Amino acid sequence: MELKVAGMSLTDNKLNNDSLQAVDPEIYSSITDEQKRQQDNLIMIASENLVSKAVIEAQGSVLTNKYAEGYAGARYYGGCYFVDQVESLACSRAREVFMAEHANVQPHSGTSANMAVFLAMLQPGDRILGMDLSHGGHLTHGSKVNISGRYYQSFSYRVDPDTCMLDLEAVRHTAREIEPKLIIAGASSYPRLIDFEGFAVIAREIGAILLVDMAHTAGLVACGLHPNPVACADIVTATTHKTFRGPRGGMIFCRQKHARAIDQAVFPGLQGGPLMHIIAAKAVAFKEAQLPGYRTYQENVLENASVLAEALSGLGFTLVTGGTDTHLVLVDLRNKNISGMEAEKVLEDVGIVTNKNVIPYDPRGANNPSGIRLGTPTLTSRGMAPAQLREIAVLIEETITCRHNSRHLDKIRQRVRNLCLHYPAY
Ligand SMILES: *Cc1c(COP(=O)(O)O)cnc(C)c1O
């Protein structure tokens, strides 16, 4: 008798009809729908991007079958010859792109990368100092609902109440008072350059370790458009999937003297087998970051964000910090009489996908915040340019102003569709 599971014959261990569509039509159809959603909408989530087909191919490869606990040349499994090549290439390319002495490309995510740094450098109960979550920081920088705020004593610095900019003198003051073992610089919704060099000086003054988390801006750093923190920080973490435009994952850079501690913390400290298919896709993304078109792409990301900021300002929107030096714009909607949640919803309704976001000193609080965060990496990957970003700013303004006029919203939806048609995602 032949046993069959979802079209798979267990006796010959081969798929009779192994296309995803045949094996799992439900998942196939959700993926197809998601691909269509990405094509038919203007995705302005600042932390998202569109990876190349080459990255997707590496990610969807048979490398997913391989166990490779350990590091290249020192694995706990046989048969690692080819995955060793993959990880070695990924690491050497990563070191080259970010001019780092040491790179670890195994973290499954930005969060895992940060946890590994804490595990390597801290004892439970040690003090850490990071940017307040509601001022642009990240959950992993000491939020009380995250392990970083539960296993360590976490403190935060905030932005200036008038300018909403980081004020290094205020950071210095807090750092001297708290005397943390580790300071974190880096943010998720801060639209300005961060003076990593200034943070390094503060960390040195109080004998703290400096961790720079460049999750959002790694792509801008990779081609020299933003200053590289690898030179001045003790340790740098990043994601590979935001501006960097690689597969979903994390990475860590450090000086040679911390290399062993970091590697040990990632494995066996925190993770098991590395995701070799993702590491292959990371290697592809590192290679793409060294191609000539990459810098042009990142320049366009920045130009588009600055054009978007200018256009929105011109249309009466208040921008946190008044503008941007990055790929993202944080809009303070209070003068528009709409909450971030409502704005996110009505914009999505016309095909503009954003996220509600708290603004510094948000009077509404984190659950129903006053802002939305907009980013340009995905639109730029589709080839959109300043003219399109100006048009999108107008569409955003009309959507929010005319949100109760369903006929007007229909017209906006049509204009969004037209834009999407002209700039294919793939
Ligand atoms: C996105 C982000 C992370 C976490 O990345 P995940 O891959 O989602 O875990 C960490 N730090 C900062 C500053 C981020 O913006």
> For atom 1 of ligand 1, which residue has the closest CA?
215
11 Cβ contact partners less than 8 Å away, ≥ 6 residues apart: 2, 3
Quote the ligand 1 centre to 147 CA distance (angstroms). Answer: 14
What is the pLDDT, as a whole number, of residue 191?
A: 98
How many angstroms separate the alpha carbon of residue 426 from the centre of ligand 1?
Answer: 25
Q: What are the tokens at 122?
A: 């801290």
Q: Can you list the pairs that 396-403 forms with residues at least 24 positions away whose Cβ atoms lie under 8 Å?
A: 396/312, 396/347, 396/352, 397/312, 397/315, 397/316, 397/317, 399/346, 399/347, 399/350, 399/352, 400/333, 400/336, 400/338, 400/343, 400/346, 400/347, 401/336, 403/338, 403/342, 403/346
Distance 49 CA to ligand 1 centre (A): 14
E strand or H helix at 289: helix 276-289
98: Cβ–Cβ under 8 A, 6 or more apart, which residues? Answer: 218, 221, 222, 228, 230, 236, 253
The Cβ of residue 363 has, within 10 Å, a number of other Cβ atoms equal to: 8
Ligand 1 centroid–CA 48 distance in Å is: 11
Q: Which residues of the chain have pLDDT under 70?
A: 1-17
The residue whose C-alpha atom lies closest to atom 4 belonging to ligand 1 is 110
End-to-end CA separation in angstroms for the chain: 45
At residue 325, the pLDDT reads: 98
- The predicted structure's pLDDT at residue 202: 98
Q: Is 243 in the pocket of ligand 1 (CB under 6 A)?
A: no
* 59-288 CATH choice from 3.40.640.10, 1.10.3720.10, 3.30.1330.10, 3.40.50.300: 3.40.640.10
Q: Where are the domains of the chain?
A: 59-288, 294-422
Q: What is the pLDDT of residues 109-154, one digit of tens each?
A: 999 999 999 999 999 999 999 999 999 999 999 999 999 999 999 9
Report the 10 Å Cβ neighbour count for 370: 25
Q: CA 49 to CA 380: how far, in whole Å?
A: 9
Report the residue among 118, 156, 188, 355 best suited for mutation to probe ligand 1: largest number of ligand atoms under 8 A from its CB.
Answer: 188
* Nearest atom within ligand 1 for CA of residue 188: 15
Tell me what pLDDT residue 160 has.
97
Between the alpha carbon of residue 224 and those of residues 204, 230, 286, the distances in Å are 25, 12, 14
Peptide bond connecting 229 to the previous residue in cis, omega within 30 degrees of 0:
no
> Which amino acid is it at 107?
P
Give the mutation target among 45, 49, 105, 111 for probing the ligand 1 site: most ligand atoms within 8 A of CB: 111
Report the topology of domain 294-422. Answer: Aspartate Aminotransferase, domain 1 (3.90.1150)
User: Does the CB atom of residue 186 touch ligand 1 within 6 A?
Assistant: yes
Q: Which residues are catalytic?
A: 67, 69, 213, 239, 242, 248
Are 380 and 301 in contact by the 8 Å Cβ rule? The answer is yes
pLDDT at 135: 96
The candidate with the shortest Cα–Cα distance to 217, out of 371, 127, 321, 325, is 325
Ligand 1 contacts CB of residue 326 (under 6 A): no
- The whole-number pLDDT of residue 4 equals 52
Check pocket membership of 108 for ligand 1, CB cut-off 6 A: no
